[in-house]
Amino acid sequence: MPEVKMTFINLPVRDLNESITFFTKMGFSFNPEYTDENATCMIINKTTFIMLLVEPFFNQFLTDTKVSDCKTTTSVITALLVDSKEEVDSLYGKALQAGGEEGNCLDGNGMYNKSFRDLNGHVFELVYMNN
């Protein structure tokens, strides 16, 4: 298996400042070295990052396809594993207060999770596993 040193998830956004505000309200921070008018690097942990890219800039990386409307389709669910049910609930509450849309909530088989859509329609799962 290849040894992956870092993971960058690239997501298109319509309004970068609005997206930064949304995720800041959830408690995330951003690397200013990788932030300009086209993109920002949201820090998940030491090796995992989410690049929020304005749609025209994101489109430069595509070949013959276009950016899907995440408010009507889903192609990716980004799951973030946290340390407790309380942390799931706290982050979920912050996401909804910041303007996120409620998603599914599951509690069973050793897993507790709540999902939400961000302002651009991207689906995130907040997950606690008691294994």
pLDDT in tens, 79-118: 999 999 999 999 999 999 999 999 999 999 899 999 999 9
Helix (H/G/I), strand (E/B), else coil: 89: helix
CATH topology of domain 7-129: 2,3-Dihydroxybiphenyl 1,2-Dioxygenase; domain 1 (3.10.180)
Would the pTM of this model clear 0.85, i.e. be above it?
yes
pLDDT of residue 1: 77
Question: DSSP H helical segments within the chain, as ranges?
Answer: 16-25, 55-59, 85-97
